[in-house]
Amino acid sequence: MELSGARTLVVGATGVLGGALTEALRDQGATLALAGRTDPSGADGEPTFAVDALDLERCAAVVDEAADALGGLDLVLVAIGVAGFGEESENDVVTEHLLTVNAQAPMAIGRAALAHLTDSGGTLAMISAILADVPTPGMAAYSASKAALSAWLTATRGGVRKQGVRVLDVRPPHIETGLADRAVAGTVPSGIRAGSDVATLVGQVLEALRSDRRTVTFDLRSGEYALG
């Protein structure tokens, strides 16, 4: 897709990764609307919205509000999530929180986005995680939440392909964005190390968008990204 002039909603724009993606898209000339847990600081004229990922109705509503503000949507990029580690994360309350924020909220955003993206032949892009491919001991519920989102994206892609909508699933390794330090339960295992920096991932996402790819994955052995 052509990023310059693309009417783009970034959900999660107040996070480290979402903020970096926002800056990169702005540099590419995208026309932005920004949504975050707190009202994002947009450039002059950029509409901004507050959205709580635990409020699924609000997650859907923010898409329509952004579409109204921009006159339609060509790209919806979702970069929201929470982490949970260890035994502390393996209980019903934490599991529900992880599944809501990491899977149900992005799905609600995605469902609301599809009507607008069908009109424009646009792209739905979401950040899931390598945990969707490599479920990890000590992160069972966290892994399950990311796998659920990745499976939804795969199934949705097949359903909207004939309508001209592209779906991008970005599955990065652990990245030092501070997310692990704000885990809803537990602490990040000592053996988990960052596999990539934010700037490298942002570059891969932009290239995947420009070349209409379906996935961005990461090989733990080679330490390299791959576009699929």
Residue 55 DSSP class: -
**Are the beta carbons of 73 and 66 closer than 8 angstroms?**
yes
What span, in angstroms and rounded, lies between the C-alpha atoms of 75 and 9? 6
Q: What are the start-end ranges of the E strands in the chain?
A: 7-11, 31-36, 48-50, 75-78, 123-127, 166-170, 215-219, 224-227
**Are the beta carbons of 33 and 102 closer than 8 angstroms?**
no
What span, in angstroms and rounded, lies between the C-alpha atoms of 75 and 6? 7
For residue 193, what pLDDT is reported?
A: 66
For residue 170, what pLDDT is reported?
A: 99
Tokens of 87: 């035994």
Tens digit of each residue's pLDDT, the chain (228 residues): 999 999 999 999 999 999 999 999 999 999 999 999 988 877 778 999 999 999 999 999 999 999 999 999 999 999 999 988 877 777 899 999 999 999 999 999 999 999 999 999 999 999 999 999 999 888 899 999 999 999 999 999 999 999 999 999 999 998 888 776 788 887 877 767 666 899 999 999 999 999 999 999 999 899 999 999
Domains, the chain, in order of start with CATH, read 7-227 (3.40.50.720)
Amino acid occupying residue 5? G
What span, in angstroms and rounded, lies between the C-alpha atoms of 49 and 167? 23
What span, in angstroms and rounded, lies between the C-alpha atoms of 123 and 213? 10
Amino acid occupying residue 96? E
Residue 30 has, within 13 A of its CA and on its CB side, a CA count of 28
Smallest CA-to-CA distance from 182 within 98, 66, 59 is with 98
What span, in angstroms and rounded, lies between the C-alpha atoms of 177 and 117? 29
What span, in angstroms and rounded, lies between the C-alpha atoms of 155 and 124? 13
Residue 198, judged by CB atoms within 10 A of its CB (0-12, 13-18, 19+), counts as middle
